């Protein structure tokens, strides 16, 4: 009998993706077969039948199959032939091979990623280029850290749950190094009171341009000492505009005096403002270009967000100066950056967040011109994202502040109210004033809610019991994250702990006080609310019955965080996880454990946090209104989006969505398209299609180009924009997205 030709790939244990070969199945069965007496052996036809059945299963799979899955199929196939002795030998062979592999768990993984064969690692992060040396060096260190974490640092129950996709212990590739997740840089303190970079004193800048330059150096240093996102506020740069103004004005007066020119104040002011505009343009260009071109020690541009909130500075000249900075940021982002071919494209960073408030949201508002510019920028380049001042103040106890990365939010300041005081020794600390800059997040563990539902087999009583057990497992895993940071001394990252980014502690001082009293947070993530509802009730969470159940589950998560917080004085917080590569991992784990269940495990991805499923037909305003209710229950982090077509010729429609955001939801974004084909010059939306083997690939609809090296594609997948392409699970999710407007 001829073997079946199968083009579906197999993912080996080291992450390398290889072609499926039926002969290897036959060889493995034959080895086990020879180990038993002849009377118990399979005949040649039976061996071929088992191999053919497995080949058919692999061929019909919609995704690359893990080698462990194939070995499970082999065991089942042999058992179905009632050749139990052969099956027993095969199981023993697997066990011996597993023991052999465990003697060194890192070598093959490292060699595979160096040779660019590890598909899982290559597509883990859509903003990392896995080809370049610095990225590979970071990945190599990550493989070692993951190995140590798995074998030595974490409890076996946490490791097992992580590997089975029951939970996800985020960023284990950095866990061994006692690094934290994300933060809000106290840029004001560092610029106004000086800092130290690479053992060099950096004093207060004497111009706006220098302040911008120093800011980029701070961002790069911070990015190299933690693994998540970071945010800084443009408000902290605003005071330096007037410093430059006074400096320029003095120079203009001196020049005109030397040349005998008129000393008319109006003329001097006009020349001064023109030169000042030029300096602001150069300063912002420095930030934008340096942050795009900087390569930190982990092989990527810094995951950095610039926050734009007019009311963060006093009314008058300083606020007008901040408006000037924001305007320049928008203008430069609309233009984009030139790629290596000289084509203007959309950069991934820095991410921009613009606060909608009474002084910029209405036609007659003083700063409405900025909102119009923001709308044009969103239509062209997908940023900025929007925070509603009105809604956020309702949810955050009257305070307004930026997230620490793509969506992670601090809990409202409670340590100030408790009288804990200036535990970070910040030089800009104001007694009684709530503090957000200088604070951070300790890390994330995410619960797979779909697995809870599937494990309960639809039984509601079992669901709640399993959920409580899994939450306690997450709690123990989060405690591991917290305890890993305990005892860390400030010397491990001077820019963070000694020189103002997060604190100004002494050398040798432990960071422990910053881990309690709400100074930092720690995040309980969750994923798959939609699929959970479908498994338990047969409806989406947009259905009234599903929504009620989803709310109860979300409330249980929040109640547990409050319970842990009250007992331990650690700010646990519910976090709407931005699954990137993990969405694929969870989906594959669910398929392996529970098979294909319609609306639950039938995709190669599961839904991010509380989001409406990407295939569900719903208009933009209904979606934002619905998801706003879930943002209230995700205080540790949440962002919503609407998928829209090309809006560059319909700016009023963009503004109408922005106004709806202002009235209804705390934090949201518009997902537009921003692609370019270098082959033919097409600048519309590059599409996702299936090739002859069923693999999803990107294709220019104009010329048919499928070479990723000759196209620029930008998509938002987890709050940040990604530009380095994605794994098959996330690519399918992007392909399945329906428009909401």
Is 622 a domain residue? no
Confidence band of 71 (pLDDT split at 50, 70, 90): confident
The residue to which tokens 């599961």 are assigned: 606
Q: Which domain range does residue 91 map to?
A: 9-103
Secondary structure string (H, E, C) spanning 331-400: HHHHHCEECCCCCEECCCCCEEEEEECCCCCCCCCCCHHHHHHHHHHHHHHCCCEEEEHHHHHHHCCCCC
The answer to whether the peptide bond before residue 384 is cis (omega within 30 degrees of 0) is yes
The residue to which tokens 């443009």 are assigned: 234
Is 737 a domain residue? no
For residue 299, the model assigns a pLDDT of: 55
Q: At what angle do helices 620-631 and 651-664 cross, to 10 degrees?
A: 30
Is 193 a domain residue? no
Cα–Cα dist 628/391, whole Å:
10
Q: Which pair of structure tokens corresponds to residue 258?
A: 């030397």
CB 328 within 8 A of CB 279: no
- The end-to-end CA distance of the chain, in Å, is 55
CB 670 within 8 A of CB 645: no
What is residue 8's DSSP assignment?
A: -
Is 83 a domain residue? yes
- Local structure of 696: helix, strand or coil: strand
Percentage of the residues of the chain whose pLDDT score is greater than 90: 66
Listed in sequence order, the residues at least 6 apart from 555 whose beta carbon sits closer than 8 Å to its beta carbon are 633
Is 466 a domain residue? no
CB 117 within 8 A of CB 276: no
Angle at 102 between CA 99 and CA 108, to 5 degrees: 125
Is 45 a domain residue? yes
* Per-residue pLDDT reduced to its tens digit, 225-280: 999 999 999 999 999 999 999 999 999 999 999 999 999 999 999 999 999 999 99
Is 42 a domain residue? yes
Is 159 a domain residue? no
pLDDT for 618 beyond 90: yes
Angle at 284 between CA 283 and CA 287, to 5 degrees: 95
* Per-residue pLDDT reduced to its tens digit, 503-536: 999 999 999 999 999 999 999 999 999 999 999 9
What is residue 410's DSSP assignment?
A: P
Cα–Cα dist 652/654, whole Å:
5
Beta strands at 721-722 and 715-716: parallel, antiparallel or unpaired: antiparallel
* Per-residue pLDDT reduced to its tens digit, 447-502: 999 999 999 999 999 999 999 999 999 999 999 999 999 999 999 999 999 999 99
CB 703 within 8 A of CB 682: yes
* Per-residue pLDDT reduced to its tens digit, 27-51: 889 988 988 888 888 899 999 999 9
- Local structure of 712: helix, strand or coil: strand
What is residue 88's DSSP assignment?
A: H
Number of independent structural domains in the chain: 1
């Amino acid at each position: 009998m001829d073997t079946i030709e199968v083009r579906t790939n197999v993912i080996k244990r080291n992450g390398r993706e290889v072609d499926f070969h039926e002969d290897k199945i036959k060889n493995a069965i034959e080895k086990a077969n020879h180990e038993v007496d002849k009377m118990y052996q399979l005949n040649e036809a039976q061996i071929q039948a088992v191999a053919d059945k497995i080949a058919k299963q692999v061929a019909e799979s919609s995704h690359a199959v893990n080698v462990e899955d194939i070995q499970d199929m082999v065991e089942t196939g042999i058992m179905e032939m009632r050749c139990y002795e052969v099956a027993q030998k095969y199981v023993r062979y697997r066990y011996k091979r597993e023991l052999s592999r465990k003697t060194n768990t890192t070598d093959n993984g490292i060699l595979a990623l160096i040779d660019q064969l590890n598909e899982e690692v290559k597509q883990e992060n859509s903003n990392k280029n896995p080809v370049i040396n610095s990225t590979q060096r970071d990945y190599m260190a990550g493989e070692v850290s993951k190995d140590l974490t798995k074998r030595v640092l974490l409890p076996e129950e946490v490791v097992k749950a992580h590997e089975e996709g029951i939970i996800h212990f985020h960023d284990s590739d950095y866990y061994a190094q006692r690094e934290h997740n994300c933060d809000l840089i106290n840029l004001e303190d560092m610029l106004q009171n000086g800092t130290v970079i690479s053992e060099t004193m950096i004093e207060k800048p004497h111009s706006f341009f220098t302040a911008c330059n120093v800011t980029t150096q701070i961002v790069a240093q911070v990015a190299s000492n933690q693994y998540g996102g970071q945010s800084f506020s443009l408000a902290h740069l605003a005071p330096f505009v007037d410093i430059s103004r006074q400096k320029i004005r003095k120079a203009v007066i001196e020049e005109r005096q030397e040349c005998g020119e008129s000393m008319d104040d109006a003329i001097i002011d006009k020349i001064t403002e023109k030169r000042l505009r030029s300096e602001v343009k150069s300063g912002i260009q420095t930030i934008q270009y340096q942050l795009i071109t900087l390569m930190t020690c982990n092989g990527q541009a810094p995951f950095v967000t610039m926050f734009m909130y007019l009311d963060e500075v006093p009314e008058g000249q300083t606020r007008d100066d901040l408006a000037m900075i924001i305007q320049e940021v928008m203008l430069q982002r609309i233009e984009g950056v030139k790629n290596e071919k000289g084509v203007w494209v959309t950069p991934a960073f820095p991410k921009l967040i613009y606060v909608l408030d009474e002084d910029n949201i209405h036609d007659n508002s003083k700063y409405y011109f900025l909102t119009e510019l923001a709308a044009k920028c969103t239509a062209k380049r997908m940023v900025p994202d929007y925070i509603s001042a009105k809604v956020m103040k309702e949810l955050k106890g009257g305070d307004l502040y930026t997230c620490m990365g793509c969506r992670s939010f601090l809990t409202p300041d409670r340590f100030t109210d408790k009288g804990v005081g200036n535990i970070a020794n910040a030089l800009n600390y104001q007694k009684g004033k709530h503090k957000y800059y200088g604070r951070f997040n300790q890390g994330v563990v995410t619960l797979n809610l779909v697995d809870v539902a599937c494990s309960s087999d639809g039984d509601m009583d079992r669901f709640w019991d399993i959920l409580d057990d899994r939450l306690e497992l997450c709690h123990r895993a989060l405690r591991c994250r917290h305890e890993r940071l305990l005892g860390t001394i400030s010397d491990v990252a001077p820019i963070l702990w000694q020189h103002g980014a997060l604190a100004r502690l002494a050398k040798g001082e432990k960071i422990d006080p910053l881990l309690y009293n709400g100074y930092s947070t720690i995040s309980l993530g969750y994923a798959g609310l939609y699929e959970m509802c479908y498994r338990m009730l047969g409806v989406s969470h947009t259905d009234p019955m599903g929504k009620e159940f989803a709310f109860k589950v979300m409330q249980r998560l929040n109640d547990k965080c409050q319970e842990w917080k009250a007992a331990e004085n650690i700010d646990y917080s519910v976090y709407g996880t931005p699954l990137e590569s993990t969405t694929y991992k969870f989906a594959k784990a669910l398929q392996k454990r529970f098979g294909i269940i319609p609306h639950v495990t039938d995709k190669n991805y599961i839904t991010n946090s509380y989001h409406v499923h990407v295939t569900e037909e719903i208009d933009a305003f209904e979606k934002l209104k619905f998801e706003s209710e879930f943002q209230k229950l995700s205080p540790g982090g949440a962002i919503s989006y609407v998928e829209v077509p090309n809006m560059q010729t319909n700016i009023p429609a963009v503004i109408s969505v922005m106004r709806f955001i202002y009235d209804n939801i705390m934090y949201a974004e518009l997902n537009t398209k921003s692609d370019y084909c270098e082959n033919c010059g097409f600048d519309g939306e590059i599409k996702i299609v299936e090739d002859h083997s069923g693999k999803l690939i990107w294709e220019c609809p104009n010329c048919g180009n499928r070479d990723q090296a000759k196209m620029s594609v930008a998509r938002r997948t987890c709050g940040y924009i990604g530009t380095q392409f994605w794994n098959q699970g996330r690519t399918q999710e992007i392909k399945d997205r329906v428009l909401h407007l």
